[in-house]
Amino acid sequence: MRSPLKDFAFSTSKDTMRPFNFSAGPATIPLEVLNRAAQEMSNWHGCGMGVMEMSHRGKEFISIYEQAERLFRSLLSIPLEFKILFMQGGGLAENAIVPMNLSRSLEVDFVLSGSWSEKSFKEAKRYCSPKVAASSESSEFHDFPDPSTWQLNAKAQYLHICTNETIHGVECHDLPDLKAMGYNAPLVIDFSSHVLSKPVDWSRVGLAFAGAQKNIGPAGLTLVVVREDLLGHALAICPSAFDYTTVAKNSSMYNTPPTYGIYMAGLIFEWIKEQREGELSGVQALQKRNQDKARLLYETIDASNFFSNPVAPHARSLMNVPFFLKDPSKDALFLSQANERGLLQLKGHKSVGGMRASIYNAMPLEGVQALVAFLKEFEATQT
């Protein structure tokens, strides 16, 4: 059988090049990392076992876990007063786990900036009394509400924001300084879809969580970074395995953690540490590369008469770029031609339609260049 991807145009060698995968998540992983995992699949570092087959309490896995935690802390410069938890359940489970641990069943604040923060808000209603401090729904979530407009509730136990709205392509580029706004409650951020794409100012954050399948590795692992002083207030109904205090006390080994996901995360963290852009390294290098990739793509879309992006320029996501064809009847043709060129999974989320290019850390500049070349060519043949 002939594969439609066999002859994609930019391929130089089948061993080193693959199609470019723009999936929003689970998403592309660097080929070097996949190859390394493949090599180590059945025999990790000569111990005679694959990582999936090891006890999570054995010395081999403990070393994998400690290395992953150390790298994550150092890549994001996470201060020691924050615990790093490796959990299961994904971002959606955290929508319940956060209020079960931090809300004390009282009032909490939310900023609504797209589908993900809306989902978090709805789930929180089951455990506490969430209030909307601000919403960009009236602009169809094409903007991130300006902090100067937020109606903060002095009684709230925390404020939840989603710092990168994966579906609407909206990013909060500067974390709000709640203390300077006269608000004492901690900031909770869902940074699932841009974790490790840039540094984080931890002085502004109380808790951050991220599902792994965008920028970290395989689905099934969730990272939680929580300031120690927020622990110890879980509701009685909170499952023990989801009580942050229990998870922290047991170094994420209260129950069996997602061991293979943690191993893969560790390999990704090593890959990030090795990234270079000029003088920059690690997350800073990726931030620069991500800015260059996003600028190229947004400039191409803005310069075109055939493609458009509706998000306010100051709130555009560097990770998820939704775009629309002027003539939606050409959507299917666009996707099939993109696929033939090795530009995969560009279809937009079903709730907003159109297209979406997710250009996470693992997407090289070459992938965005190939996409931009295709956009220009497609436009030229259609207009």
Is residue 322 within the footprint of ligand PLP (CB under 6 A)?
A: no
365 binds ligand PLP (CB under 6 A): no
Question: Which CB, 153 or 358, lies closer to ligand PLP?
Answer: 358
CA distances from 348 to 23, 288, 318, 325, 332 (A): 9, 26, 16, 11, 12
Alpha-carbon span 125 to 131, nearest angstrom = 9
Query: Which residues, in sequence order, are CB contacts of 226 under 8 Å at separation 6+?
Result: 82, 83, 85, 206, 207, 208, 244, 248
Active site residues: 116, 190, 214
Per rule CB under 6 A, is residue 162 in the interface with ligand PLP? yes
Q: Which helix (H) or strand (E) holds 227?
A: strand 222-227
- From the CB of 88, what's the least distance to ligand PLP, in Å? 10
- 206 lies in the binding site for ligand PLP (CB under 6 A): no
Judged by CB, which is closer to ligand PLP: 8, or 144? 144
Phi-psi domain of 361 (left: phi exceeds 0; alpha: psi -120 through 50; beta: other): alpha
When the beta carbons of 167 and 234 are compared against ligand PLP, the nearer one is 167
Distances (CA, A) of 25 to 107, 217, 361: 32, 10, 12
Range 7-46, binding ligand PLP (CB under 6 A): 25
User: Which of the stretches 185-193, 245-253, 300-308, 367-375 binds ligand PLP when contact is defined by CB under 6 A?
Assistant: 185-193
Alpha helix ranges (H) inside 42-114: 59-75, 90-102
Nearer to ligand PLP, 62 or 93 (CB): 93
- Neighbouring CB atoms inside 10 A of 77's CB total 12
CA dist., res. 29 & res. 264, Å (int)? 10
Q: How many CB atoms lie within 10 A of CB 379?
A: 17
For residue 192, state whether it binds ligand PLP (rule: CB under 6 A): yes
The reply to whether 360 sits near ligand PLP by the rule CB under 6 A is no
Of the listed pieces 90-98, 128-136, 298-306, 321-329, which binds ligand PLP according to CB under 6 A? 90-98
> In the set 21, 136, 157, 166, which binds ligand PLP (CB under 6 A)?
166
Position with the least CB separation from ligand PLP: 91
Among 5, 31, 34, 92, binds ligand PLP (CB under 6 A): 92
Q: Which is nearer to ligand PLP, 143 or 190 (CB)?
A: 190
User: Which parts of 270-381 are beta strand (E)?
Assistant: 276-277, 280-281, 307-308, 320-325, 343-344, 355-358
Q: What is the DSSP letter of 110?
A: E
Residue 211 in contact with ligand PLP, rule: CB under 6 A: yes
Among 19, 91, 99, 322, binds ligand PLP (CB under 6 A): 91
Rg (CA), the chain: 21
At its nearest, how many Å lie between ligand PLP and the CB of residue 161?
11
Rule CB under 6 A: say whether 190 interacts with ligand PLP: yes
* Interaction site with ligand PLP (CB under 6 A): 25, 90-92, 116, 162, 166, 190, 192-193, 211
